[in-house]
Amino acid sequence: MAGDAFPDTSKRSRSRKIAPVDTSAPSIIKYKNGNAETVRIISRSKDSLTYHLVGEKGVTRLVKMEQVDTIVPGISDLSCLAVRDTRKSEPFGVASLVLSILGLIPIIGSIFSLLAIIFGIVSIIRIDKHTERYKNKKGNAIAGIVIGLIELVFNLFFLASIGTGVGGGMGWIGFSL
């Protein structure tokens, strides 16, 4: 009767056989969601797996064995493997770059430029905080910040020159209003 109330308890009571782990050679972990990683396994129990990523030193991960589909044991020659990086680009960095391009619009571009700077800073903070989730590519965020700063200064100068009438409107660019 207890098995009817808790149908998965019978699965937990079965013992799993744990294969020995070769920590000297990299292994491939294939997850049930379809992702795969090349790792050096530190320890393995029936419930969890602790490992280092081969490409990133200093990053230690712990994963539950129920998330793991298969483990391809120690492979000494990594050149035959093509494990793709499943980490994604940080979306705030991409948004920062897009907003900085929208900042080219005169007058209202300063709003987009300011948002590009804010999104770029948020992106860099998130990439530094979650290196395991995002590719360590800060290029979009840095480009968004730099372009946004340049455009913000330009747009503020543009608005100030219109408001004060410096240079006959926009005579310093070549046209007047």
Q: Which tens digit of pLDDT belongs to each residue from 20-39? A: 555 567 878 888 888 888 88
Mean of pLDDT values over 104-131: 88
Mean of pLDDT values over 33-55: 81
**What was the pLDDT predicted at 121?**
95
**Cα 145 from Cα 134, distance rounded (Å):** 19
Query: What does the angle CA 123 – CA 104 – CA 106 come to, to the nearest 5 degrees?
Result: 130
The interaxial angle of helices 109-129 and 139-164, nearest 10 deg, is 160
Choice between 169 and 136, residue whose per-residue pLDDT is larger = 136
CATH number of this structure's domain 19-79: 2.30.30.100
**What was the pLDDT predicted at 165?**
63
Choice between 28 and 15, residue whose per-residue pLDDT is larger = 28
Specify the pTM: 0.49
Amino acid identity, position 100:
S
**Cα 88 from Cα 108, distance rounded (Å):** 31
**Cα 123 from Cα 142, distance rounded (Å):** 9
Q: Does the pLDDT at position 153 exceed 70?
A: yes
**Cα 145 from Cα 91, distance rounded (Å):** 14
* Domain ranges within the chain, ordered by starting residue: 19-79, 91-164
Average pLDDT, the chain: 75
Range in 21-30, 40-49, 93-102 the model is least confident about: 21-30
**Cα 88 from Cα 61, distance rounded (Å):** 18
Residue 92 has φ and ψ, to the nearest 5°, of -70, -30
